[in-house]
Amino acid sequence: MQHFSTDALILRAVDRGDNDRLLTVLAANYGRFYAILKGAHSMRRREAAAAEPFTWSNFEFYERGGVKWVKSATAQETFPGIRYDMDKLFLAAYVAEVAAELSDEREPAGEILPLALNTLHKLSVTKGENEMLKAAFELRAACIAGFAPELHSCHSCHALITGENYLDVMNGALICADCLHRSAALAPLPEFNDLGERTVLVPLTAAAAAALCYVASAPARRVFSFQLTDEASKHAFCRATEAYLLHHLERSFPSLEQYKKTRAMLARIQPNAAKAADEESC
């Protein structure tokens, strides 16, 4: 029987039978893997906290019959600020689903693990910034997945971006308004390219483009150290990052859909609360 110990982030926890729980975890050296926790419902409160989703815990595992089992778990960081806020819980689940998508079994976790931990920490300690945190996470995750866009200048004329511009999602590049209007006047942009991919152009302000450029190239610890002050730039930034990540991963995520549904429902039943939340974030 092989034993090993490691810190790991719990991406998912699903009850299995009456008293067991199947954990999906992500560890720096071991990548993403499954492990079974026996007696999950009869654990003492402190131990149980170490087996909750989106918790960073120190585990002892043993392997038997080709299955990994949890011998012990001790919570290192529970990110308490996300636990009683439905928006933050859905976003934490989204972060975990994207981290699972961008990691593999028997492959070191690489940059997606510190990004996920950093995002969970920011979600836990920050108020009114959910949408901006989500957006920065999305763009950086796309870069980690190998889809880093070229954001330093206009892809067509190579001029620095100083005004209205567009993110060409499929090509991962910026195009300034002058170039877009010029090319559209000469030959209207095709709705689909040769590969059948739909052309997606997300309008951006100069500030939103600068923020995208910053997030894509900042040192890992500084990814969230930027500010957008005007609502138009925030909205454009958030719209661009979500479109960019989902297009390049070629899928959506259940937790993201739930997050959006909850926000839409809140906007219908509590328009003032939703408006206040929007003014705080995007």
Compare residues 157 and 264 and give the one whose CB is closer to Zn ion: 157
Helices 254-269 and 271-280: angle between axes, nearest 10 degrees? 120
Compare residues 77 and 178 and give the one whose CB is closer to Zn ion: 178
Which of 14, 86, 125, 157 is close enough to bind Zn ion by CB under 5 A?
A: 157
Helices 231-249 and 130-144: angle between axes, nearest 10 degrees? 40
Compare residues 199 and 270 and give the one whose CB is closer to Zn ion: 199
**Which segment (82-90, 133-141, 170-178, 247-255) binds Zn ion by CB under 5 A?**
170-178
Compare residues 91 and 151 and give the one whose CB is closer to Zn ion: 151
Binding string, 171-200, against Zn ion, x = CB under 5 A?
-----x--x---------------------
- Decide the pairing of beta strands 56-64 and 67-77: antiparallel
Neighbours of 265 (CB within 10 A): 11
d(CA 74, CA 49): 8
Judged by CB under 5 A, how many residues of this single chain contact Zn ion? 5
Length of the chain: 282
Which of 115, 151, 154, 211 is close enough to bind Zn ion by CB under 5 A?
A: 154
Q: Which helix H or strand E contains 279, and what residues bound it?
A: helix 271-280
Compare residues 183 and 225 and give the one whose CB is closer to Zn ion: 183
**Which segment (19-27, 30-38, 155-163, 215-223) binds Zn ion by CB under 5 A?**
155-163
**Which segment (17-25, 85-93, 148-156, 228-236) binds Zn ion by CB under 5 A?**
148-156
Per CB under 5 A, does 273 bind Zn ion? no
Sequence-ordered list of residues with C-beta below 8 angstroms from that of 37, at least 6 positions apart, any chain: 20, 21, 22, 23, 51, 69, 70, 73
Neighbours of 219 (CB within 10 A): 7
CB of 78 to Zn ion, least distance (A): 48
Compare residues 14 and 157 and give the one whose CB is closer to Zn ion: 157
Compare residues 179 and 216 and give the one whose CB is closer to Zn ion: 179
CB of 247 to Zn ion, least distance (A): 22
**SS3 readout for 95-164:** HHHHHHHCCCECCCCCCHHHHHHHHHHHHHHCCCCHHHHHHHHHHHHHHHCCCCCEEEEECCCCCCCCCC
Residues 73-112 that bind Zn ion (CB under 5 A): none
What residues line the site for Zn ion (CB under 5 A)? 154, 156-157, 176, 179
